[in-house]
């Protein structure tokens, strides 16, 4: 029994310990619940958030207490945004100070409030990726506890305050991608605890201060694209021994590279480019065996590639292009274990290609060297990109080697471009860079340039008229695409489509006109910035900067497309040059010299971008300007054919003369009908469209609407189009028809289907539209097995349709009421952007009647009551149709469905039932697994507003846009429209279309649209099914 007593005492002691610990935890919990944010700091933060129009997330600021929830628990500040972190250890754990503040990528606008500098307990401040303007206050020196500080990617200006040097606890500093000016303050040298500094594209300049020699803890330095002058300081090699990543690209430094850099043995990422003057060698690399990425581009480096290059086994990227390297390409270089991308272009390397290559090395640029000889077997390896343009390989060497895997035309793209040299064939060329062929408004036919180029590739057309060569890898960009695309509309041009695609490059992009007749040429280059957005957003602060050479002469230095366009994106910029062709070729070279931002709006957004190129002679050409014929020269056969044809021609002469005169008379009549039309639409021949559609083959038929059948076709220039055959019975006179088509052609918007032109031959009337591969919205929404539209896509479709209608109603030079807004008249492009079709076609179908008897054009289910019953037409009729379409987008069902329960047959009625019962989300398509509840309710409320009985109660489409984007409040709708409460139901498909003199058309003189015409019902009482019922 005595032996058991110690154990019993232990249990008693353990129980007391548990009770004590429990009490302690309770006391801590009570203390935490009693903690309070410092009142002055709370006022400051609330004031800042109010000024910046942002608010706390539900993860903190619980019950109005800022320092609560994620702000004080173990949640990392990187896990929520906007975010604060607090330290609640003061005053016996009852007072909290704000130590961390993150407002990241929220597009906050305006200046930094002075109150911010009073939050002196901050040690972590992240305001990156906003649109902050103004200057940095010297009061920033108050934040002496600061460890991690970033203002990167904003629009801040002025000089960097020297008081920044007072933040001696700083470990990481970032103020890159801004508009600062002036030198770096020497006081920054006092930040001796700094391990990271990111100041690329900051706008600063001058020499790097000598005090920076004290920054011996630095690990990462990004300092590209500034105006730094002088030589790169020697102290970097002597003092920054811990640095692992160093970037000095695109500054104004002079060479050579300091020999002291050989001490930087910890470097894994070194990028220096575009040094002026002074020649360097590669000797300083001798101890940098840890390098993974080495970029020493355009630095006037001479001498051979180091013989011990095989020892650099960590190298994955090596770029030594645009230097003066000599000697052979070392065999060991092609056998490095991890090397995947190698750029040695534009040097003076000689000899042959290495005999062997590792499989991992897949990108090799050796263009513009002095290489020659036969090709090794590895050039036919899979997935290899090899650019050998501009070397000394002969046609015999290329043909004798097995080079079947290389793109054709390499023999024509060697030095001096030997093909057609001395025997020119062409006198012009036009290239649609990065995209499909396009005929512009001035009838220039731009050839396609849609080859999937890579970081080390070239391409020559089968006709040998032009070629392109690309070299360069987008840094840190996962998607290495070398074309850009947008469906947006562009300003300052009549040819928006010409700028919707572009060829982009990460380094060097060359276009060549080949086989040209010698003489003077006019070269026109077309540019537009489509990736860097318009302000005010952080996505607008990027700068794309590159140089342009024509025939080796620098024509544009530090060319910034957006700056040249007045600071606007999606704006066409054209530049014209004179060039002399003396050796039958013309070269246009776009070159990235390390300048511009690297990473806005995404990583790797930099380097050349061009939309189109054309060159035309300033002389009368003597060449055919046609590609070579593939037919063999068989003289005897040709003579026999010529004689036979001559005899037949004599017999047919009079008949031909008669036909020609008849055609001339017909053409004269056509030209007479075109008189008075400001902009004549492009006209296609019937035979051209018949060939494009396979003689209007049923296999090419896309569908048939009220205007007639629509066919898919491919034109001779390889454009894919949609050809609409208009019903013969509905034709107007030719001149009136052409006038209407000219009007429609002039109406262009990203959310309207583009009309390319028309065909008018005899009684034939055809329209040629752009082809939209994803067909119509009703097919996507209502047909099983078609496209899946998630909620964000549906919301953007709603917004796009609204923008298209607003343009027709309020922004177009010719105001247009569509009259038939419905899901089948909304088409989807490759990116699921909506485009409204069939706008402005109603006048092509209107009978020659007075206003006393006018046909209602539209589709039941989408027709506004006043238009359906009284023929009263305004733009508010389109607003009604939009409301119905919006409900269809939310619900994924048509506006009427007889297969459903009785209370759900009519979509509008069901939507009102759900709204009145406050269960609107039950309307949402069951196929949507996720959706934004607030956005869904907003769209439903807007749809109910748009479908009010009275046109005056419906919003304008510009107001709809404002409500969708949150720029305007959504007005409340409290009662059902009269057509849902007053009118009786009847299942009928009849519809009244002709009306007497009470019809009023407020859009007289504008183009309107129509589809199927329905027979009169003869009913005296309006029927609900006529308004919200059948058909779509």
> Residue 1010 is encoded by which pair of tokens?
């129509």
Distance, in Å, from the CA atom of 43 to the CA atom of 119, rounded to the nearest integer, reads: 11
Q: Do β-strands 324-327 and 348-351 pair in parallel, antiparallel, or remain unpaired?
A: parallel
Cβ count within 10 A of residue 599:
19
Q: Do 823 and 801 contact (CB within 8 A), yes or no?
A: no
Instruction: Please give the sequence-ordered ranges of beta strands (E in DSSP) within 122-272, or none if there are none.
Output: 124-126, 131-133, 148-150, 157-159, 172-174, 179-181, 196-198, 205-206, 220-222, 227-228, 245-248, 269-272
Contact 358, 332 (CB under 8 A): no
Which DSSP string corresponds to 235-278? HHHHH-TT--EEEE-SS--BS---GGGGG-TT-SEEEE---BSS
Q: Which residues are catalytic?
A: 820
Assigned token pair, 724: 């609409």
Q: What is the C-alpha to C-alpha distance for residues 193 and 177, in angstroms, rounded to an integer? A: 23
DSSP structure class, residue 750: T
DSSP states along 353-405: --S---TT--EEE--SSEE-SPPPGGGG-TT-EEE-TTS---HHHHHHS--TT
How far from each other are the two terminal CA atoms of the chain, in whole angstroms?
A: 93
Helix and strand numbers, DSSP H then E, in the chain: 18, 49
Q: Which residues contact 139 (CB under 8 A, 6 or more apart)?
A: 114, 117, 163
Q: How many angstroms separate the CA atoms of 977 and 447, rounded?
A: 55
Which residues touch 516 (CB under 8 Å, ≥6 apart)? 424, 426, 427, 429, 581, 584, 585, 586, 615
Among residues 757, 635, 771, 639, which one has the least CA distance to residue 700?
771
Distance, in Å, from the CA atom of 468 to the CA atom of 474, rounded to the nearest integer, reads: 18
Q: How many beta carbons lie within 10 A of that of residue 355, not counting itself? A: 10
Contact indicator for 508, 587 with CB cutoff of 8 Å? no
Asked if residue 1029 lies in contact with residue 861, where contact means CB atoms within 8 angstroms, the answer is: yes
| Cis bond upstream, residue 100 (ω within 30) | no
What is the side-by-side order of every strand in the sheet holding 324-327? 302-304, 324-327, 348-351, 370-371
Instruction: Check residue 225 and give left, alpha or beta (phi > 0: left; psi -120 to 50: alpha).
Output: left
Q: Which of 851, 730, 831, 42 is nearest to 484 (CA)?
A: 831
**Do 294 and 267 contact (CB within 8 A), yes or no?**
no
Going by their DSSP bridges, the two strands 585-591 and 501-504 should be labelled as unpaired
Instruction: Quickly count: other Cβ atoms within 10 Å of residue 977's Cβ.
Output: 22
Question: Helices 876-891 and 907-916, interaxial angle, to 10°?
Answer: 70
Q: What is the DSSP string of 948-1000?
A: -SSGGGSPPHHHHHHHHHTSSPPPP--S--HHHHTSBP--------EE-TT--
CA distances from 216 to 244, 285, 630 (A): 12, 21, 70
Structure tokens at 784: 């099983």
DSSP classification of residue 809: I
């Amino acid at each position: 029994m005595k032996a058991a007593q110690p154990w019993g005492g232990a249990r008693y002691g353990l129980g007391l310990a548990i009770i004590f610990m429990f009490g302690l935890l309770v006391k801590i919990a009570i203390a935490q619940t009693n903690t309070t944010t410092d009142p002055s700091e709370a006022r400051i933060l609330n004031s800042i958030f109010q000024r910046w129009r942002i608010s706390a997330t539900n993860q903190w600021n619980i019950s109005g207490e800022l320092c609560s929830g994620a702000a004080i628990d173990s949640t990392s500040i990187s896990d929520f945004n906007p975010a604060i972190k607090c330290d609640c250890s003061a005053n016996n754990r009852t007072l909290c100070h704000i130590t961390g503040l993150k407002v990241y990528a929220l597009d906050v606008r305006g200046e930094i409030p002075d109150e911010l500098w009073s939050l002196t307990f901050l040690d972590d401040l992240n305001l990156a990726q906003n649109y902050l303007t103004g200057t940095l206050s010297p009061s920033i020196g108050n934040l002496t506890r600061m460890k991690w500080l970033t203002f990167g990617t904003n629009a801040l200006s002025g000089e960097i305050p020297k008081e920044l040097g007072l933040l001696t606890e700083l470990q990481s500093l970032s103020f890159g991608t801004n508009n600062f000016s002036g030198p770096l303050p020497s006081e920054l040298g006092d930040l001796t605890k700094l391990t990271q500094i990111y100041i690329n594209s900051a706008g600063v300049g001058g020499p790097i201060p000598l005090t920076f020699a004290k920054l011996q803890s630095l690990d990462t330095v990004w300092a590209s694209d500034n105006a730094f002058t002088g030589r790169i300081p020697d102290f970097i090699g002597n003092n920054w021994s811990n640095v692992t990543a160093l970037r000095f690209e695109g500054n104004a430094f002079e060479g050579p590279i300091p020999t002291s850099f050989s001490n930087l043995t910890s470097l894994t990422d070194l990028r220096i480019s575009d040094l002026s003057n002074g020649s360097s060698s590669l000797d300083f690399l001798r101890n940098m065996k840890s390098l993974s990425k080495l970029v020493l581009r355009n630095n006037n480096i001479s001498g051979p590639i180091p013989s011990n290059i095989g020892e650099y086994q960590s190298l994955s990227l090596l770029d030594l292009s645009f230097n003066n390297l000599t000697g052979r390409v070392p065999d060991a270089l092609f056998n490095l274990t991890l090397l995947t991308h190698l750029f040695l272009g534009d040097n003076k390397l000689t000899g042959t290609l290495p005999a062997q290559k590792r499989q991992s090395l897949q990108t090799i640029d050796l263009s513009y060297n002095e290489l020659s000889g036969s090709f090794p077997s590895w050039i036919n390896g899979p997935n290899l990109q090899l650019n050998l343009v501009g070397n000394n390989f002969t046609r015999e060497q290329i043909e004798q080697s097995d080079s079947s895997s290389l793109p054709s035309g390499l023999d024509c793209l060697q030095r001096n471009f030997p093909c057609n040299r001395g025997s020119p064939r062409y006198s012009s060329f036009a290239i649609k860079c990065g995209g499909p062929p396009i005929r512009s408004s001035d009838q220039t036919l731009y050839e396609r340039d849609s080859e999937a180029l890579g970081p080390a590739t070239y391409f020559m057309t089968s006709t040998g008229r032009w070629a392109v060569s690309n070299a360069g890898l987008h840094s840190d960009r996962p998607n290495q695409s070398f074309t850009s695309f947008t469906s947006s509309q562009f300003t300052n041009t009549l040819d928006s489509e010409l700028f919707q695609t572009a060829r982009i490059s990460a380094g060097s992009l060359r276009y060549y006109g080949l086989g040209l007749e010698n003489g003077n040429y006019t070269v026109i280059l077309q540019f537009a910035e489509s990736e860097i957005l318009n302000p005010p957003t952080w996505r607008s602060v990027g700068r794309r900067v590159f140089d342009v050479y024509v025939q080796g002469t620098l024509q544009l230095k530090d060319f910034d497309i957006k700056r040249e366009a007045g600071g606007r994106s999606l704006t066409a910029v054209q530049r014209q040059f004179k060039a002399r062709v003396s050796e039958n070729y013309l070269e246009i070279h776009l070159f990235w010299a390390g300048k511009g931002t690297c990473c806005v709006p995404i990583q790797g957004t930099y380097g050349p971008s061009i939309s189109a190129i054309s060159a035309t002679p300033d002389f009368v050409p003597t060449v055919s300007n046609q590609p070579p014929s593939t037919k063999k020269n068989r003289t005897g056969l040709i003579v026999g054919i010529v004689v036979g044809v001559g005899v037949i021609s004599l017999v047919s002469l009079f008949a031909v003369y008669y036909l020609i005169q008849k055609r001339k008379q017909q053409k004269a009549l056509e030209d007479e009908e075109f008189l008075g039309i400001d902009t004549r639409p492009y006209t296609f021949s019937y035979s051209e469209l018949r060939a494009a559609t396979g003689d209007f083959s049923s296999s090419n038929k896309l569908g048939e609407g009220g205007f007639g059948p629509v066919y898919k076709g491919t034109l001779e220039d390889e454009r894919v189009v949609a050809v609409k055959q208009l019903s013969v019975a509905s034709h107007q006179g030719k001149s009136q028809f052409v006038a209407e088509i000219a009007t429609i052609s002039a109406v262009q918007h990203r959310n309207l289907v583009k009309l390319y032109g028309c065909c008018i031959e005899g009684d034939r009337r055809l329209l040629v539209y752009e082809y939209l591969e994803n067909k119509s919205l009703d097919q996507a929404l209502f047909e099983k097995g078609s496209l899946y539209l998630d909620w964000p896509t549906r919301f953007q479709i709603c917004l796009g349709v609204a923008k298209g209608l607003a343009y027709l109603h309020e922004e177009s030079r010719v105001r247009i009421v569509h009259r038939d807004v419905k899901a089948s008249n909304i088409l989807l492009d490759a990116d699921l952007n909506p485009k409204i079709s069939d706008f402005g076609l109603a006048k092509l179908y209107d009978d020659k009647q007075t206003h006393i008897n006018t046909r209602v054009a539209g589709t039941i289910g989408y027709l506004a009551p006043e238009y359906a019953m009284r023929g009263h037409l305004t733009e508010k009729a389109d607003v009604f149709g939009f409301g119905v379409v919006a409900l269809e987008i939310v619900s994924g069902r048509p506006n009427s469905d007889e297969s459903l329960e009785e209370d759900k047959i009519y979509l509008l009625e069901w939507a009102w039932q759900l709204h009145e019962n406050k269960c609107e989300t039950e309307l949402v398509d069951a196929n949507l697994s996720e959706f934004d509840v607030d956005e869904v309710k907003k769209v439903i409320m807007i749809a109910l507003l748009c479908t009010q009985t009275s046109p005056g109660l419906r919003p304008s489409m510009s107001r709809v846009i404002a409500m969708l984007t949150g720029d305007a409040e959504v007005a409340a709708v409290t009662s059902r429209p009269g057509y849902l409460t007053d009118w009786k139901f009847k299942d009928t498909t009849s519809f009244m279309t002709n009306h007497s003199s009470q019809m009023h058309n407020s859009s007289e003189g504008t183009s309107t649209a129509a589809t199927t015409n329905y027979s009169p019902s003869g009913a005296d009482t309006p029927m609900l099914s006529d308004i919200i019922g059948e058909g779509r």
